[in-house]
Amino acid sequence: MKKLFALMLALVLVLALTACGAGGGTDAPPADGDAPVSDGADTAAPDTTDTAPLRVAMECGYAPYNWTQEDDSNGAVPIADSSDYAYGYDVMMAKLVAESMGRDLEIVKLDWDSLIPALQAGTVDAVIAGQSITSDRLEVVDFSEPYYYASIVTLTLKDSEYASAQGLSDLAGATCTSQLGTIWYDNCIPQIENANVLAAQETAPAMLVALESGAVDLVVTDMPTAMAATSVYSDMVLLDFTGSDDNFVVSDEDINLGVSVQKGNTELLDAVNAVLSTMTVDDFEKMMQEAIAVQPLSE
């Protein structure tokens, strides 16, 4: 009897030890419906995407779309790593998107040529900077629906021989320039017959200085930029050939401006489009007029 009892006890101990080795660690898969057990050492960091600031990049030097100012007047937003603030149409739009997502807004000031690379690298969440929705850009980033429709116009000085131009053909032979990396410079200026095309300017303000100083006869830009310029430069005149057969030939991608996000970021893209779906062209124009009214282009 004692031998039988000892044999049974040994068998129980073996079975117990075997059970502990098979299912006692954190690597064992949980049963359906059970939460996995962990000691916390290998727990992934919490997802803070929904609460992290929305980082939106722009030049902060492209009035009335965006600009830099010294204080938070009119609802301006702090620029990251700076004591300055940013405001303008693009900031107004960025605020609407951030508010709809329940996130704080952080403006990142970058040069024009650095905007898309920063988006691709993931250092910013979105770019709102008056970008045309071109096929080339769509190859590397995703775009929202248009957040503004910007027709192409020309600026010249009131005492210029081109001030009375009635169409594109009247600009033939003019010395001209525009901003680097824009459809204004790449697509539109080449349509001016026999134009003397000077090097593109780094920024929109630099383009306007070139015109104001007499370095060029005219510049090609979009309607909001031109309206902002004429509001502070009294000697500039806006030439708009819209509706004429003698006008710049542009496609929708040239004049439709969108918000760009990293390829595949459908969550943010959907959030932006949800905001835009509640707005009309009149809403866009009202916001742009508000931006033009307070833009500090002349400073």
How many residues does this entry show for the chain?
299
User: Which of 121, 116, 119, 118 minimizes the C-alpha distance to 132?
Assistant: 116
DSSP 8-state secondary structure symbol assigned to residue 176 = E
Rounded CA-CA distance 102/173 in Å is: 53
- Helix-then-strand count for the chain, H and E: 10, 14
Q: Is the pTM of this model over 0.85?
A: no
Rounded CA-CA distance 233/42 in Å is: 62
DSSP 8-state secondary structure symbol assigned to residue 188 = I
Rounded CA-CA distance 210/229 in Å is: 13
Q: What domains lie within the chain, and their CATH numbers? A: 54-149+256-294 (3.40.190.10), 152-241 (3.40.190.10)
Please state, as a whole number, how many other Cβ atoms lie within 10 Å of the Cβ of residue 153.
23
Rounded CA-CA distance 20/231 in Å is: 81
pLDDT 10s digits, 6-26: 434 344 333 333 333 333 333
Rounded CA-CA distance 292/225 in Å is: 9
pLDDT 10s digits, 125-177: 999 999 999 999 999 999 999 999 999 999 999 999 999 999 999 999 999 99
pLDDT 10s digits, 218-266: 999 999 999 999 998 999 999 999 999 999 999 988 899 999 999 999 9
Tokens of 178: 């525009």
Residue ranges of E strands in the chain: 54-58, 67-69, 77-78, 85-87, 105-109, 126-132, 141-143, 148-149, 152-157, 175-177, 196-197, 218-222, 236-239, 256-262
